[in-house]
């Protein structure tokens, strides 16, 4: 899948230019919100007894590959020596070693109850609304990016169609 997506961007970069622009826009917003999320996770995650950062969440799905490829980023290779339930391969002593925008989407946007409680307790009502609005904007841009990729892939030449 990864090689096919990379080939599509290589061969049809002009047609996929809007996909790349959307990816950059989402990346910018993700990095904008990241320090705020990091402040909350640094308060909650070190004392967690139910670690959600496990290896099975470190896999990049098709939408992650499209996003990363649109950004011109490489996908980290799998490490078959790590069990699904082991600590995430990207988990370091101070949290994730990847920039937020380079993480699999599922782990980047998972907010457990203690984390959500921390966010709501430490943020004003207006700040919380802005936080949620920014998350929605990121999700909307990313969804549009994926839909645009799939539309272009499906409606262009046969060499561009993704096998689903």
- What digits encode the pLDDT tens for the residues 53-71? 899 889 999 999 999 999 9
Residue 45 lies in a domain: yes
Q: Which domain holds residue 94?
A: 2-157
Instruction: List residues bridging with 92 in a β-sheet.
Output: 95
User: What pLDDT is stored for residue 130 in this prediction?
Assistant: 92
Note whether residue 56 is domain-resident: yes
- Domain assignment present for residue 162? The answer is no
Residue 163 is assigned to a structural domain of this protein: no
DSSP 105-137: HHHHT---HHHHHHHHHHS-HHHHHHHHHHHHH
Contacts of 4 (CB under 8 A, 6+ apart): 162, 163
Q: Residue 98's pLDDT is what? A: 94
pLDDT of 63-115, one tens digit each?
Answer: 999 999 999 999 998 888 899 999 899 988 888 999 999 999 988 788 888 88
Helices first, then strands: H and E counts in the chain:
6, 2
Residue 125 falls within a domain, yes or no?
Answer: yes
123's CB contacts (< 8 A; 6+ apart) are 131
pTM: 0.88
User: What local confidence, expressed as pLDDT, does residue 52 receive?
Assistant: 86
Residue 164: inside a domain, yes or no? no
Please tell me the total count of domains within the chain: 1
């Amino acid at each position: 899948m990864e090689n096919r997506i990379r080939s599509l961007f290589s061969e049809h970069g002009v047609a996929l230019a809007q996909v790349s622009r959307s990816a950059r826009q989402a990346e910018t917003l993700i990095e904008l919100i990241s320090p705020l999320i990091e402040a909350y996770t640094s308060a909650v995650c070190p004392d967690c007894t139910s670690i959600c950062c496990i290896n099975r969440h470190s896999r990049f799905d098709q939408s992650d590959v499209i996003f990363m490829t649109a950004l011109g980023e490489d996908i980290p290779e799998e490490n078959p020596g790590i069990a699904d339930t082991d600590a995430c391969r990207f988990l370091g002593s101070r949290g994730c070693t990847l920039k937020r925008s380079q993480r699999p989407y599922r782990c980047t946007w998972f907010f457990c109850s203690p984390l959500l409680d921390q966010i709501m307790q430490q943020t004003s009502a207006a700040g919380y609304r802005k936080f949620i609005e920014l998350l929605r904007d990121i999700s909307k841009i990313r969804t549009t990016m994926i839909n645009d990729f799939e539309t272009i892939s499906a409606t262009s030449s046969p060499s561009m169609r993704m096998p689903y």
